[in-house]
Amino acid sequence: MTLPAERDGTPVPGLTVQDVVRQLTWRVLGPLKGRAKSVLDWAGLGEQPPATQQEVARRYFVTQRAVGQRVQRVAAQGARLPLSDVLLEALTRPDRPGENPTVRWRCAYLLGMPG
C-alpha cells in the first residue's frame, strides 16, 4: 500500500481552482510546442470545451500518449501542491447549475484530488 504524497510543493498564485491549474500547468510544462496548452485544452480551460486526449493530440500534431503523459506530469506535481481551504472547498463542493462537471473533475484530477 502506498501512502499519498505529502503536499510539500511550492504554492502557485491563484484565487480560483482554474487559475491554480493554469499556473501549475505552465510551471510544469512551459511554453514549448504547445505542451501546456494541450493539457489546458484537455481540461477545458482553453477556448473550447474539454476534449478527449485523442482530439487534443490531433489538434497539436502529437500522439494521444504524449497528451496523456503531459496530463500525468501535471497531475503528479498537482498532488504535491499545497491547497488553501478556499481551494479545497471549491474542489469538494457539489456541482452548481451551469457548471461543466467534466472541467471540474479534470481540474480536481490535475490537483491530485479524487473525482
For the chain (length 115 residues), average pLDDT per consecutive 10?
Answer: 66 92 96 93 95 96 97 96 92 92 96 82
Q: Say if 11 falls within a structural domain.
A: no
What is the pLDDT, as a whole number, of residue 2? 46
Q: Say if 99 falls within a structural domain.
A: yes
**Among all chains, which residue has been given the C-alpha cell 500500500?**
1
Q: Say if 82 falls within a structural domain.
A: yes
Q: Cα–Cα distance between 6 and 42 in angstroms, integer?
A: 26
Residue 49 lies in domain: 17-110
Q: Say if 5 falls within a structural domain.
A: no
What is the pLDDT, as a whole number, of residue 10? 86
Q: Cα–Cα distance between 53 and 39 in angstroms, integer?
A: 9
Q: Which of 83, 70, 97, 96 is nearest to 108 (CA)?
A: 83
What is the pLDDT, as a whole number, of residue 13? 87
Q: Say if 72 falls within a structural domain.
A: yes
What is the pLDDT, as a whole number, of residue 1? 41
Give the count of domains, the chain: 1
